[in-house]
Amino acid sequence: MTNPVTQDRRHFEDLAVGEVITLGHVTLTKQMIFDFAHEFDPLPFHIDEKAAKASLLGGLASSGWQTGALSLRMLVDSFLGTVASAGGLGFENLKWKTPFMVGDTIGGTVTIAQLRRSASHPQWGIVMLDFDIRNQKDKPVMSMRLANLVECREVVA
């Protein structure tokens, strides 16, 4: 069954281990931190500048979950939106390494680490994606391995 939305996108068979996806960039503003933190992480050091200055980080930084969400957005723009993605399965070994502070810019790369056919669903393959998110000083900010489903062109029984 062809999916009209994804038929012209790259499928599982078109991907190769070792392919490096270069992400775009995103610069963190105070408003972005406040908007996310008020909804999902309302700790004083994410929503109040004075509390942030007095905290271990010494200033306003994004919630770790916001750093992850912004990294995901960069992956959708550079990769997931151009392949026949069928959704995420999860991730492992997520590490927050350096705080993402207000005014910082992140970018980075995502590498295809593994490709395998789904054992239970012959119409899908699983792509393992290694994130290396860095700030403007080239310091590692976050890493993780994400597992995502991709539609196969040919269903192998």
Partner 1 sequence: MTRWFEDIVIDEVFPLGSHTFEEAEIIRFAKLYDPQYFHVDPERARQSHFGGIVASGWHTVSVGHRKMVDALSAESDRLRGLGQEPGVSGPSPGVNSMEFKTPVRPGDTVTYELIVTDKRHSNSLPGWGLLFNQLTARNQRNEIVYRADLVGFSKLRDYRTPLKLKVLLALTRLPVIGPRLRRST
Q: Which residues bind partner 1 (CB under 8 A)?
A: 3-5, 36, 39-43, 56, 63-65, 68-70, 72-73, 76, 80-81, 85-96, 144
Per-position b or e across 18-38, b if 16+ CB within 10 A of its CB: eeebebeebebeeeebbebbe
What whole-number distance in Å separates Cα of residue 96 and Cα of residue 143? Answer: 7
Smallest distance from partner 1 to CB 91, Å: 5
Smallest distance from partner 1 to CB 3, Å: 5
Query: Facing residues of 145 across strands?
Result: 92, 130
Q: Quick one: 33 or 80, whose CB is closer to partner 1?
A: 80
Q: Burial-class residue 6 by CB neighbours within 10 Å (0-12, 13-18, 19+).
A: middle
Q: Quick one: 19 or 65, whose CB is closer to partner 1?
A: 65
Smallest distance from partner 1 to CB 111, Å: 19
Asked if residues 27 and 104 have their Cβ atoms less than 8 Å apart, the reply is yes
Q: Quick one: 14 or 39, whose CB is closer to partner 1?
A: 39
Smallest distance from partner 1 to CB 106, Å: 14
Angle ∠(143,152,77) on CA atoms, nearest 5: 40
Q: Quick one: 109 or 143, whose CB is closer to partner 1?
A: 143
Q: Quick one: 72 or 101, whose CB is closer to partner 1?
A: 72
Q: Burial-class residue 117 by CB neighbours within 10 Å (0-12, 13-18, 19+).
A: middle
Smallest distance from partner 1 to CB 73, Å: 5
